[in-house]
Chain A
Amino acid sequence: MNSTAVSCRKVNKIFAQGELAVHALTSIDLDIASGGFVCLSGPSGSGKTTLLNMIGGLDRPTDGEITVAGQRIDRMSMSDLAELRLQHIGFVFQAYNLIPVLSARENVEFVMQLQGVPSSERRDRAMAILAEVGLQGMEDRRPGELSGGQQQRVAVARAIVSKPALILADEPTANLDSVTAEKLMQLMRDLNSQIGTTFVISTHDKLMMSYAKRLLKLHDGRIIDDIIQDDRQE
């Protein structure tokens, strides 16, 4: 695994807040290898979300270069970015991950539907992946009828179902109790080792950090520490 999934060169992000300029990210240089399982840690306001947004093409850097899946994304058009996200990136957000009017299965199928996967195949894959994340029998429930942990598992199922090269998760366990949170981390870690999907996960939970193969510490928009901790790999 020596190919690069994500690379950032001198990435800066400055938010103009009225008269004030907030330096959310300052000169980020970063390479993430394919198959990585990276945790971004750091206190609130350190720039974790901003960095994930940049990598996911949800927002543009003020300057610097970002390459994802071999493509320069910092100057891409909105619709090209949408296409890139659809084909290469899976997202798990902190909350409100699911489309409220769609059932768990329909939510999982949503991305595949956009990708043009035929309906019977879509259905089979959604059912299989929901079973895999432990949601058998709950496929037809709407998000409102699922617990927070179950909703997050649906989100993970949706993120992985079309086997994207990269999954970005922003504090996916923040709203979960520790047992559920650990199960979810374990699930993602298993997927990482089984399929080789690259994960970039932000968290400020110590337990979560211990699952990472590589731990990046952010502070005031800078990377202040970069620790390789492969001890948990079997």
Chain B
Amino acid sequence: MKTPFSMLVTVAWRNLWRNHRRSLIMLAAIAIGLWGMIWMTALMRGMVDQMIDDAISTLSGHIQIHAPGYLDDPSVEHTIAAVADNPELDKLLHSPEVTAWSQRIRVPAVIRSERDVYGITLVGIDPQRERGLSFIADSVVSGHYLESVNDQHVLLGRKLVEQLETKLGRRIVILSQDPDNNIAERGFRIGGIYDTDLQATETTYVFAGIETVRRMLKMGSGVSEISLLGHDYRNVDGLAAEVRAVAGTAETSTWLQLDPYMASMLDVMDGFIIVWFCIIFLALSFGLINTLLMAVFERTREIGLIQALGMPPGNILLMVLVESSIMLLIGLLAGNLLSWLTLLPIRDGIDISAVAQGLEWAGMSSILLPAVKTSDVLLANGIVLVLGVLASLFPAWRASRKVPVEAITRIWQ
């Protein structure tokens, strides 16, 4: 025996609006709960995306190749063959799977101005290849970017220029070690100054043409690292395996391996999102269960009545579930609309520079761009709907277990 579904929906729908105030409060709670889930996730995802973006464009790329031992001791001795000397790698780097790549010489060095001395990392780059791969080309704020692999100028971070008390066009001296452990020293003119969100980057990296650095260090044809970009930072393992296959004895690492801090940050964020969803949902489900229990309790008589008239217990359970599903669906609709309306005005990002100073350690920049991911929105909706229906099972079960006589003796006496 089956109750027509249309009847269940009709009765559930009308029952829902019997207590306007209670239903509206519940709908608002569902909507705001969903909004809280979507909004918070969008901001957190935006934050993480930005951090990853920064990390990747701060030289790491998606995948890097180094000589074994370089990561522990990034010295001039640990070099790998340049791309031109590895035809298989050369072929892979020019395949459509790779969107950008470059090779670098990267050594610890000391920089000296007339006033001060600092420890830095000297990076010899191929200026044209770095475009689209790293931040350097887009970050020059005064002077000009490096022109070729033989450029005689250096690029310094703004903060470092400040600390050295020097300025654009002045000369500085860079000291490092050549492969024979002799001091290598060379004077450079400051050709450009770059600016990033992270002061640590500005004070660490000094860029010069890769061939100029090679001559200064009296190196052979090797390089310190090869960095490349695939299509999606979340999905780099396949490409990494291909690179590893042609990299010979060199070590291939993904950005996640190179930046364990970022990797654990990502895990923490994912965990936080789940915890956040659960907190909101718990609050919601208490409200939902209570609302439904109240509604069921108030309707003891009519539930007894429809059972007495012959509606099977299973259908009474279904009726309460239909009522809560309708409520959940309307609430979710409103919540999605609310999320969309409130995310629209900030889709170009919100300026958080007021608090960015404090957040800089976490690798954040000062414009926060919310990232709405379909999967997050679906997850939030799905969690509320599925768990919401599950939470209504208890009140629904209570309703269906009302033995008719108990519900009806209230009438008959």
Contacts and interface: CB of A to CB of B under 8 A. Distances in A.
Contacts of A58: 308, 403-405, 408
Q: How large is the interface on B (under 10, 10 to 19, 20 to 34, 35 or more residues)?
A: 20 to 34
26 contacts: A49-B413, A53-B405, A58-B308, A58-B405, A58-B408, A78-B313, A79-B1, A79-B314, A82-B311, A86-B1, A86-B309, A86-B311, A87-B310, A93-B308, A93-B408, A93-B411, A94-B411, A96-B301, A96-B305, A97-B305, A99-B11, A101-B15, A102-B10, A113-B3, A114-B3, A114-B310
Contacts of B405: 53, 58-59
A91 B10 CA distance: 23
B309 A111 contact: yes
Contact of B409 (A49, A97, A102, A116): A49
B179 to A, nearest CB: 88
Contacts of A49: 409, 412-413
A119 to B, nearest CB: 9
Contacts of B306: 99, 110
A176 interface: no
**Which applies to chain B's interface (DSSP): helix, strand, loop or mixed?**
helix
Given A49-B413, A101-B15, A111 B312 contact: no
Interface of A: 49, 53, 56, 58-59, 78-79, 82-83, 85-87, 91, 93-102, 106, 110-111, 113-114, 116, 158, 170-171
A113 B254 CA distance: 65
Nearest to A168: B308
A91 B412 contact: no
Nearest to A97: B305
Contacts of B305: 93, 96-99
Given A110-B7, A113-B7, 12 more contacts: A49-B412, A78-B312, A78-B313, A82-B310, A82-B311, A93-B308, A99-B305, A100-B302, A101-B15, A111-B309, A114-B309, A114-B311
B302 A99 contact: yes
Contacts of B309: 85-86, 91, 110-111, 114, 158
A111 B73 CA distance: 84
